[in-house]
Structure 1
Amino acid sequence: MTSTLPPRGRGTASNPYNRFAPTRSVAEDDGWFQEVPLSRATEVRIETAKSIITRNQSPDLPFDRSINPYRGCEHGCIYCYARPSHAYWDMSPGLDFETKLIAKTNAAALLEQQLSKPGYVCAPINLGSNTDPYQPIEREHKLTRHTLEVLLRYRHPVTIVTKGSLVLRDLDLLSELAKQRLVAVMISLTTLDDELKRIMEPRAAAPAARLRAIRVLREAGVPVGVLCSPMIPLINDSELEQLLAEAKKAGAQSAAYMFLRLPREVAPLFEEWLSAHFPERAEHVLSLVRQSRGGELYDSRFGTRMSGEGLFADLLAQRFKLALKRLGLNRREGFNLDCSRFCPPGGQMALL
């Protein structure tokens, strides 16, 4: 790994080896080094997917199925728990994850096929469980929009998690889904500090833009909540109450949070990021993470992986609970989606 700052607009400067690769390359100085501005363009590869609905049995998640139209995420969030998945596509969880993206261009057509199968049982589908459905390349590819069009046509319930203000482009579809109790949106809000956002989530929407998205969605009748995730000790945890208060002011009805998760390659990438941007507190941050993860930087156990454990994690949970109650951010109106409306085009809805 390098210890340099990342290229402008990227979350990391490193590209750690793919853990499944049979060989590894090591950079050596041959004396011909020239100092040139760092840059890394985004590449988008096209994939014809074989399936589009991913199933899970995790007790930590409020849904059992999800759709991710893209692999990799241009937002470049340094803490992203999805980074290790890029190794499965023979790419690095580092810089490759945010610059070498894969678009499942047949996502909508494949979804339509799967929803039309006679044995399909309807339950809410989540968009954004692994990578953001409204990352910048969605402007051109519109895979999320096409997916929503299918879900609306089939009257299928959907939940969305995003930190992209591009979600407002699809307000026409979302408001129509909301009229039929078929959609709920969670906006991820991690900081109100533009500079921290710039280095932590370089290509995600600005905090003000996310708050505006909450406000506009709510005014259009779409159920909206706020997700303060991840909470990072000594980096953004002090903002928790203010984040919730600003989200409430913008119109959020509910809230949730998650403690920092550092699986596999994410841990060394995050350590490098800390050393580059917060060298004076890096060790203290990591110490608090270990105290909340049984002495390690990551704990994958169900039940604790989202919230952590120990004194610091317990204090964070208490702070969240008190703020939730004080602000009234525990309203669930509109979040119980209606599966009874599901009806493939040409089909007949149940009478009872």
Structure 2
Amino acid sequence: MRYQRIACVINDLAADFFKLVEYFSEFSEDFYLYVYPERGKTTPAVFKHYHKGKLIWKKNYSWYKGKNKAIICLVQYLYFLYFLKKLRVRKTYFIVHEIHFIFFNSLVTFFTKNKPVLWAGDGCPDPRQSFFIRLLYQLSRFYMRRVKYVYFTSPKNDSLLLERFQSGDKNKWVIPLGVTDIPADRLPFPNRFGFIGNLREGLGLGLILEAARENRNFYLEIVGDGKYRNDLEKLVKEYEIGEQVKFLGYLEYPQMVKTASRWQLAFATYFPSPKNHTYYADPGKVKLYMELEIPVIMTDITYIAEEVKDLKAGEIVKYDSADIALAVDKIQSNYQDYMDGIRKLKKQYFYKELYKQGFSTLEKRL
């Protein structure tokens, strides 16, 4: 096998999107997995053990029902320690994508002989946002310099963290999120569009609703939930577009894929600013749209926007409702070209090729 022992600590949304589970379960002699619910969800945590590609053990664990961020992080970390003990994970590379799992890594390494691997998904451009963010930022600076293996999903995040955390460039690589090469099963409905993600400010959802108000043939399905949902529902009522907009809430991955397969196009209209952490990220929703071969309308915020534009895999728009409406018309008027473009882009991010090259260092046995 390519790898001897690999462990992965990841939330359920990332487990569905990132293809790490598929990759390491196939190419590792032993692969240990701890999946915890994305923040805001209370589904059980799951421990799994794969041996030579086969799932040989699995167990669910109940989860904290509250919403306190500090307690959620603590519960995630305590389950992580229990995961290492329960599955007797030793002399193993363990991959995490949230910084708090490498806190106290010297002690964890001393007792278990494991090696932490941080795959950083986004940056923290403005630590003054809150006390909690500032605390994580300071701890991140401390630990980033002490973890040997650090990977980034975005070259922008690479530059930010190398500068902010002064972590140097030894053993630091950029590994973007990969997608499957399986052709998507698509049957798009005319004038049906979609959005997937947490419902919060700064995602352009209000602008999308404004575009829908001006076009009665604009039907939008919103997958996800969050504190901004009430405000959006009020806007829908105010704009009198209740027949055009559906809030579907959180969907399990298979149902989400089935729903999205009906969309002509999808939105990733983040507020385009370096103060937005998504500026430094590789947004999972864009890669999901890519995997499902859905042309995307997005703002010029992440590194992949330029590739979307060059390959005509979608339209890059200003943070403006009129520009969003114009992009919808452009894609609909020449739809096959955009479908060809998103398929070309998808081929460039096949996960087996990306991860084989990116994680090659982990082939060395501990």
Q: TM-score, structure 1 length as denominator? A: 0.40
Question: Bigger relative contact order, structure 1 or 2, given CA contacts below 8 A and separation 6+?
Answer: 1
Which structure has more strand as a fraction of its residues? 2
Which structure has more helix as a fraction of its residues? 2
Q: TM-score, structure 2 length as denominator? A: 0.38
